Amino acid sequence: MAARTPASAEVTGAQTPSPRLVLFVCVENACRSLMAEAMFNSDAPGGWRAISAGTTPASVPNPRTAPMLKQIGLEMPLHPPQVLTPQMIEESKIHVTMGCLDDAACPARLRELEYRDWGLPDPAKLDDAGFREVREKLRGLVEGLTREIRLNDRMRAARASPSR
């Protein structure tokens, strides 16, 4: 489905810029990357949004992911686990992996790009306390990323504005 442009843009012929994307990647797109997407999008910097995908996605999210997000007041992303595509990689400005890029799971194209690896354990293999610990580490990392993006956007805007 194509995105609609606001009516004011249609009248003037101006295009609404597409949001800049953060791509969160893990193997199954069932726990960590889904949580990161939800966390980022709950407080995304202006003009940004997150998407997530897996190199070998699960058929359904881990059954503990939604309750773990609910505990911190967040909802699951609306999409099921989805496969990482070349288009997602190309369109994203920031690529974040969850600590699961190995030779078998990593698309070669992603390795050619700059990416951040957060090195988080797979919470699906942990008990509830371990799952919560991963969630909290992830929350701190996502908050740090949003602060970094906001700061960089402010600095870019300051450099672009004419001096008084």
pLDDT at 112: 65
Q: Is pLDDT above 80 for 93?
A: yes
Which strands, in side-by-side order, build the sheet including 92-97?
48-54, 20-26, 92-97, 116-117
Q: What is the pLDDT of residues 17-73, one digit of tens each?
A: 789 999 999 989 999 999 999 999 999 999 999 999 998 899 999 999 999 999 999
pLDDT for 161:
79
pLDDT at 160: 86
Predicted local confidence at residue 1, as pLDDT: 37
Question: What is the per-residue pLDDT for 62?
Answer: 97
Q: How far apart are CA 134 and CA 64, in angstroms?
A: 12
Q: Report helix angle 128-160 to 32-42, nearest 10.
A: 40
Q: What is the set of domains in the chain, with CATH numbers?
A: 18-160 (3.40.50.2300)
Residue 16 has pLDDT above 90, yes or no: no
- What 3-state DSSP class applies to 96? strand
The string of pLDDT tens digits covering residues 105-139 is 555 456 667 788 899 999 999 999 999 999 999 99
Residue 97 reports pLDDT greater than 70: yes
| First vs last C-alpha separation in the chain | 44
* pLDDT (0 to 100) of residue 5: 34
Kindly report whether the global pTM for this prediction surpasses the value 0.75.
yes
